[in-house]
Chains A and B, each alone.
Chain A
Amino acid sequence: MGELVAFECDTATDVVCQPPTVNELFELPTLFSIGDVEITRQIAYFFLATLVVAAILYFGLRKPKAVPGKFQLIVEELVAFVRDGIAKDIIGPEGTKYVPYLLSIFLFILVGNFFEITPFINYPITSRMAIPALLAIMTYLIFVFMGFRKNGLSYLTGIIWPKSVPVAMRPLVGIIEFFSTFAIRPLTLAVRLFANLVAGHVMLSLLLVTGFTYLFVQPFDFTFNPLWGVLWFLLGIAIFVFEMVVAFLQAYIFTLLSAVYIESSLHPEH
């Protein structure tokens, strides 16, 4: 683990400071170790996200009433959003089977993303590749498995030799489709979420830390101007609001695309 390198610089001498790497923003201290496995704060945050999801579901649904209270209504709306707006809309009536999975990834990613702007956490767990990769692999396994289970080998042949395009085009389109389905889809699914949250976290960190530095930390050799600090800080706040939208949108997109991929495996002719 690197310390905040900038503070190690001896500004009195002429030594070039070692620039902090981007990893500085994403590596958090190890809390404790189980054998060789280091349990870092990120991993603790993963379980915190689980706890938050569990708490939302528990307090929203522990005593479900025919006439719901406000909190139950919000939770029900969230569930209905995934069940009706994603699973049934995209996959169709069979989509009901996938609601547990889709709802789980939606809530887990949503809460994980919102950690980015949660005070005292300020760290989206989805900015660690482990989470997007894990969920993308799960989606990948589900849609490939369901594709073969529902359509047998014709799932594969339908992708490699697509009947809907002219014969001359089939080898080319087949190769593109094959790579798109089996290699690109999981990669883009994971990277889209990961990159969005990394970018958001970097942006917020830079803006807010810069604002903080201008306002409260003595500068090295540039003119100290609190106004810059205020401006950086305001920009940080604006991005903060923007990141709320991103947090929701990325959870939605990931869930939606998972549903789309499952649907395209179940009905490859579309």
Chain B
Amino acid sequence: MLLSQQLIAASEEASGTDLILPATSELIGGLIAFTIVGLIVWRFALPQIQKALDERQAAIVGKMQDAEQTKQAAEKLKSDYEAQIAGAKSEAAQIVEQARHQAETMKADIVARAQDEAAAIADRAKADIEAQRASVISGMRSEVASLSVDMAQKVVAGTVDRGAQQALVEQYLSELGGVNN
């Protein structure tokens, strides 16, 4: 091939318009290829993503509801426990109060009983003392009378008989007792 022919051929080929102007077959091919992409995006990808988003939203909402329920249950449990504790506390206070009351009653009983007993003991003692006193006095009285009789016998030996003397002393002593009493 001659050089000039070659150059002409080259310049024709290198015009660049081939590069810039799209070929019809490529336009059609490109249109079909892109349409398929568009359909996949429109009919498959975006609905699937929407589905994922919906699921995610449902999962999050569900979890939040679960958490809310758990929280409510926990709060109920807490208030139950608090009520139980408060009940136990008041019961304990009641028990303590009862015990105190019982103790007070027992104390009062014991004191009263002790006082009664003491009083009884004192009374008994007093009665014993009185009895003893009475017996001592009567003992003494007869002793004194006997002594006086003995004494008077010694003083007026033989003048007065023993029976008369005894009567005389008895009289004297009863007079003396009337004065003492």
A119 at the A/B interface (Cβ < 8 Å)? no
CB-based A-B contact count at 8 angstroms: 140
A23 touches B19 (CB 8 A): yes
Query: Quick one: given A57-B41, A107-B37, are A64 and B21 in contact (CB under 8 Å)?
Result: no
Contacts of B40 in A (CB 8 A): 53-54, 57-58
A179 at the A/B interface (Cβ < 8 Å)? no
Q: How far is the CA of A16 from the CA of B2 in the complex (A)?
A: 10
In this complex, what residue of A is CB-closest to B43? A100
Contacts of A58 in B (CB 8 A): 40, 44
Contacts of A15 in B (CB 8 A): 3
A22 at the A/B interface (Cβ < 8 Å)? yes
A131 touches B41 (CB 8 A): no
Q: Which of A38, A40, A129 has the most CB of B within 10 A?
A: A129
B161 at the A/B interface (Cβ < 8 Å)? no
A104 at the A/B interface (Cβ < 8 Å)? yes
B87 at the A/B interface (Cβ < 8 Å)? no
What band does the interface of chain A fall in when counting residues whose beta carbon is under 8 Å from B?
35 or more
A21 touches B30 (CB 8 A): no
Least Cβ–Cβ distance between A34 and chain B, in angstroms: 9
In this complex, what residue of B is CB-closest to A191? B20
Q: Which of A66, A99, A131 contacts B30 (CB 8 A)?
A: A131
In this complex, what residue of A is CB-closest to B55? A66
A39 touches B25 (CB 8 A): yes
B34 at the A/B interface (Cβ < 8 Å)? yes
B37 touches A108 (CB 8 A): yes
In this complex, what residue of B is CB-closest to A16? B3
Contact with A along B21-55 (1 / 0, CB 8 A): 11101111111111011101110111011011001
Query: Quick one: given A57-B44, A129-B19, are A18 and B10 in contact (CB under 8 Å)?
Result: yes
Cross-chain pairs A/B with CB under 8 angstroms, 21 sampled? A18-B10, A26-B19, A37-B28, A40-B25, A42-B26, A43-B30, A47-B33, A66-B56, A75-B45, A76-B52, A79-B45, A79-B49, A99-B46, A100-B41, A104-B37, A104-B42, A105-B34, A108-B37, A128-B23, A128-B26, A134-B34
Mark B residues whose CB is within 8 Å of A. Answer: 3, 6-7, 9-10, 13-14, 16, 18-23, 25-34, 36-38, 40-42, 44-46, 48-49, 51-52, 55-56, 58-59
